[in-house]
Structure 1
Amino acid sequence: MEAIILAGGFGTRLQGVVKDVPKPMADVNGRPFLEYVLDDLIQAGFKHAVLSVGYKHEIIMNHFGSKYKDLDISYAIEEEPLGTGGAIRFALKIIKSDYFFVLNGDTLFRINYQEMIHPEPIVMALKYLNQNDRYGQVTFKNGYVSSFIEKGSASKEGYINGGIYRFHRAFLESLMLPKKFSLEKDVLEKHVFLKPIKGVSFDAYFIDMGIPEDYQKLKEDLLYE
């Protein structure tokens, strides 16, 4: 199995506590956060990961090189921000498989990846939250996502996009989109009107370390790993 990890973010909201490194390299109990993400992939049987990098990418490349434990590492280096969709399509040239996974490099969602293997061109991991003020919401029924609800207009509890996807490469290659585009706005929210997106709900540990409070919680949660 192969994965693209989006690891090019600036981490603007974390700059008060995480400085001078890309957000995925934020220190979590003496280790860069990205190591936890890669360890989960190794445990799940992945053999190759493409790190989509941009901001201060040399720090990531110098730390991991071309191999991390049993995982082969490649890099797709953005010379300019391409958006989430553009970054995936740019990294796709390094992926060899017909199907592949995409993850966010600032989120830890400990799913069973085997449960994501379905024939649909887009499969999305979902998480049910009782308090989801920070996130938009998805409507999910009978195994499929049928709509996306903007952050702020959603109810306080419900399913959210967990930020892990499985894509069919032919589907992404067929999209007629500019060099820079958003996966969420330009692909997911538009495709769902053409055909519902396969969703898989996981009752698994989930945290997005995008704000200082959750970054601190993450360090406490992973203290003994």
Structure 2
Amino acid sequence: MQAVALAAGKGTRLRPLTDDKPKALVEVNGEPILTHCFDQLLELGADELIVVVGYMKEKIIDYYGDEYEGVPITYTHQREQQGLAHALLTVEEHVDDDFMLILGDNIFQANLQDVVRRQQESRTDAAFLVEEVPYEEASRYGVCDTNDYGEITEVVEKPEDPPTNLVMTGFYTFSPAIFHACHLTQPSDRGEYELSDAVDLLIQSGRTIDAIGLDGWRVDVGYPEDRDEAEKRLQESADEGSTATADD
């Protein structure tokens, strides 16, 4: 399966960490966030990485070159920061079939393989990793509502009054149908082409989207303190792995 990583952002809220680099190259536990994303995508069987770059794009391209651990990298350019649906459209001509999508500012230690497996086995048009967050934090994300079958029935981007506390994380699988929905998406009140609006168009057209509950953890690295939290969790995971190995 091909894998798309969105890494065009400036990381304004991460300053001063992004004063001289794009958000995707901010280091967490000694490696750029994007390297952590690539490692996870390769573990999931990605045979091509398609990376959407924008702000300071040359630094990302210079850092990784045309392959990562033997897997080829294709770069596309989002010239203006106009939302995730806008960014996703830059990869349309490069995607052949179902694909993985990861936001290049998220660190995961979670069941991403369950999302990929659901897409492959059920041939739905999308599967998302979702998690429950405190209600007061839900307005920061794309908020989901689901039916009794675990299918997503509605997605609302950053609502002032969230209908639920179930939110999209930064990992998805899609069929190419998402591109048509992105083309139909109109600018939101924020002036951006929102991925959640494209997803809602898929739902309204009768497409099936499965929600997979998060088992593990993820950190959306939006602020310096988020970087610190992700680093702490990765170190704890490494320590637990070392302890388990020693016990064996």
Normalised by the length of structure 1, the TM-score is 0.86
Q: Pick one of 83, 108, 123 that aligns with 1:119.
A: 123
Deviation at 1:178, TM superposition (A): 7.2
What is the RMSD of the two structures over their aligned residues, measured on CA atoms? Answer: 2.5
Deviation at 1:34, TM superposition (A): 0.8
Q: Pick one of 213, 217, 220 that aligns with 2:225.
A: 213
Deviation at 1:50, TM superposition (A): 0.4
Alignment of 1:3-18 (within 5 A): 3-18=3-18
The match for 1:222 is 234
Report whether the alignment pairs 1:199 with 2:211. Answer: yes
The match for 1:137 is 143
Structure 1 distance, partners of 2:21, 2:186, is 26
Structure 2 distance, partners of 1:65, 1:114, is 30
- Number of residue-to-residue matches in the alignment: 223
Compared CA separation, residues 183 and 197, structure 1 to 2 (3 A): farther
Deviation at 1:137, TM superposition (A): 2.4
Cα offsets for 1:56-105 (capped at 9, x unmatched): 0111101110111132111002233342112211112122x311111100
Alignment of 1:185-196 (within 5 A): 185-195=196-206
Q: Pick one of 145, 154, 164 that aligns with 2:162.
A: 154
Report whether the alignment pairs 1:167 with 2:174. Answer: yes
Normalised by the length of structure 2, the TM-score is 0.79
Stretch deviating more after TM superposition (49-58 or 180-189)? 180-189
**Aligned-partner residue type, residue 101 of structure 2:** V
The match for 1:81 is 81
**Aligned-partner residue type, residue 46 of structure 2:** F
Report whether the alignment pairs 1:105 with 2:104. Answer: yes
The match for 2:22 is 22
The match for 1:59 is 59
Structure 2 distance, partners of 1:33, 1:174, is 29
Structure 1 distance, partners of 2:58, 2:136, is 34
Question: Equivalent residue of 1:63, what SS?
Answer: helix
For the 8 Å contact 2:142–2:196, the answer to whether it is kept is no
The percentage of aligned residue pairs carrying the same residue is 25
Task: Structure 1: give runs of 5+ residues left out of the alignment.
Answer: none
**Aligned-partner residue type, residue 216 of structure 2:** A
Instruction: Tell me which structure has the larger Cα radius of gyration.
Output: 2
Structure 2 distance, partners of 1:170, 1:152, is 29
For the 8 Å contact 1:136–1:152, the answer to whether it is kept is no
Stretch deviating more after TM superposition (162-171 or 203-212)? 162-171
Deviation at 1:174, TM superposition (A): 6.7
Structure 2 distance, partners of 1:130, 1:83, is 25
